[in-house]
Amino acid sequence: MIWKILVAVLIGALAGFLAGKIMKSDHSLLGNIIIGILGGALGGWLGGLIGIGGGWVMSIIIAVAGSCLLIWLFRLIFGKKKKK
């Protein structure tokens, strides 16, 4: 049980970090972990709907894609703050 949680957090951190780089977003490590875990859940759910999944590499790809989608949706809903 603890092993699965640790793996989910590590994959989430990696996915959140990669999605942050892809989407040019700047979040803290904790923010990356949260975005990665939520994005992994979103990506896993969407991947399950269309029949995609399996393996470590595919899990990371799906988590990164879900995290990018989550960042995009967040920006769409709340707008991107402009720096002065």
* In a domain? residue 72: yes
The structure tokens listed for 5 are 């949680």
Q: How many domains does the chain have?
A: 1
* In a domain? residue 83: no
* In a domain? residue 84: no
Which residues constitute the domain of residue 10? 2-78
Q: Which helix (H) or strand (E) holds 84?
A: none
pTM of the model: 0.81
Residue-wise pLDDT tens digits, 18-29: 998 999 887 787
* In a domain? residue 58: yes
The structure tokens listed for 46 are 């969407």
Instruction: Report the C-alpha gap between 80 and 62 in whole angstroms.
Output: 24
* In a domain? residue 11: yes
Does 68 have pLDDT greater than 90?
yes
pLDDT of res. 83: 55
